[in-house]
């Protein structure tokens, strides 16, 4: 017996619940092809950042205006430019090329910083052929006059505006830092999101104490980070409409991680760090192991296990809430070698 791994995500038919999430590998045609050949159900391209587009435009304007304050003729001289491709143009071009090269859904990711930017670039990505859009809601609110309610209202408005302008399926990638996450997750779906991606990993800056500079650092995820998405997917699965999609991301490294994500109610499990560490072929390993696990445990499909350990279906729903903290603290056992006076010397 071979278990059926097919699933639905954002209304799209996927051959497996393992999705390659945004990384440098999903933004290049050759590596995207390798990911698809390894069996991924879909792939999410890296985010198009509005700041990147604006930075290029500002740099061009500075270049064209160089010298104009000193030489009058510079005001009427502009170099001939046959074609100028912006970051958005290049992104859409790559999206189209990947779409032609692979046989799985290609999801475009967008991170904008203005209301107009969200709408403008969402429409461009949809027109370029994206099978779905993932809105990457990422911001750090440093202004003390902006309260949490205003931040949430702004995010919901963004989802509503994009939904009104594009017809392709819409996923929203969220952070876990909303004050009442279940409330916000339900509101995001009500605003037009077809699915939620839990969770966005924020890369924190570090300090170089030799140069006294702020350093951008990237650390790949570890399997323990899956616990946070597992908890919230288990809770949200019972709060959202049955046709709302949920994706687990952060800490998905092995087939067992995928099984856990499915069990709490995820439609797909997204992988980035494991693929970057081991290459696109790791996806095939995970899918093979997933199929074997389902067969060994007599599941005929990934759908059969989905949601079997969600908040409502588990024998101990409280374990996903406050009781889990209490139980975790009381599960600690002090190592015996710490308890002897000789060990403490």
How many C-beta atoms lie closer than 10 Å to residue 19's C-beta? Answer: 30
- The strand pair at 12-14 and 7-9 is best described as antiparallel
Could you tell me which CATH number the domain at 7-313 has? Answer: 3.20.20.70
Pair of tokens at residue 148: 């949490």
Spell out the per-residue pLDDT of the chain, length 345, in tens. 689 999 999 999 999 999 999 999 999 999 999 999 999 999 999 999 888 876 765 554 554 455 555 555 555 555 555 566 889 999 999 999 999 999 999 999 999 888 899 999 999 999 999 999 999 998 788 889 999 999 999 999 999 999 999 999 999 999 999 999 999 999 999 999 999 999 988 777 889 899 999 988 788 899 999 999 999 999 999 999 989 999 999 999 999 999 999 999 999 999 999 999 999 999 999 999 999 999 999 999 999 999 998 866 666 666 666 656 666 666 767 676 665 555 555
Q: What would the DSSP string read from start to end of 227-287? A: HHHHHHHHHHTTTS-TT-EEEEESS--SHHHHHHHHHHT-SEEEESHHHHHH-THHHHHHH
Predicted TM-score (pTM) of the model is 0.86
Beta bridge partners of 135: 110, 172
Decide: 91 and 121 in contact? Cβ < 8 Å.
Answer: no
Q: What are the residue ranges spanned by the domains of the chain?
A: 7-313
Of 249, 259, 264, nearest in space to 301 by CA: 259
């Amino acid at each position: 017996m071979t278990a059926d791994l097919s699933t639905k995500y954002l209304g799209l038919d996927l051959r497996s619940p393992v999705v390659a999430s945004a990384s440098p590998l999903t933004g290049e045609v050759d590596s995207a092809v390798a990911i698809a050949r390894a069996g991924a159900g879909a792939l999410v391209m890296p985010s198009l950042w509005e700041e990147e587009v604006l930075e290029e435009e500002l740099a061009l304007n500075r270049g064209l205006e160089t010298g104009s304050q000193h030489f009058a003729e510079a005001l009427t001289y502009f170099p001939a430019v046959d074609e100028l491709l912006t970051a958005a143009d290049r992104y859409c071009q790559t999206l189209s090329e990947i779409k032609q090269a692979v046989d799985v859904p290609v999801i475009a990711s967008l991170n904008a910083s203005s209301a107009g930017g969200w709408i403008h670039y969402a429409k461009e990505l949809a027109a370029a052929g994206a099978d779905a859009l993932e809105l990457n809601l990422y911001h750090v609110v440093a202004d003390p006059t902006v309260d949490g309610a205003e931040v949430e209202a702004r995010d919901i408005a963004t989802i509503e505006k994009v939904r009104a302008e594009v017809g392709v399926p819409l996923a929203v990638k969220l952070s876990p830092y909303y004050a009442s996450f279940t409330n916000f997750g339900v509101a995001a779906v009500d605003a037009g999101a077809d699915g939620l991606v839990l969770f966005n990993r924020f890369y924190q800056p570090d300090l170089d104490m030799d140069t006294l500079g702020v350093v951008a650092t990237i650390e790949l995820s570890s399997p323990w980070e899956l616990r946070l998405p597992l908890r919230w997917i288990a809770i949200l699965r019972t709060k959202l409409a049955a046709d709302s999609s949920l994706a687990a991301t952060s800490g998905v490294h092995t087939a067992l991680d995928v099984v856990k994500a499915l069990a709490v109610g995820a439609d797909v499990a997204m992988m980035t760090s494991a693929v970057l560490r081991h290459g696109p072929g790791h996806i095939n390993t995970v899918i093979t192991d997933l199929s074997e696990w389902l067969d060994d445990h007599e599941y005929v499909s990934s759908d059969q296990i989905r949601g079997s350990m969600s908040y409502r279906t588990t024998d101990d729903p409280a374990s996903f809430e406050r009781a889990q903290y209490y139980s975790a603290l009381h599960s600690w056992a002090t190592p015996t070698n710490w308890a002897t006076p000789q060990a403490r010397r």
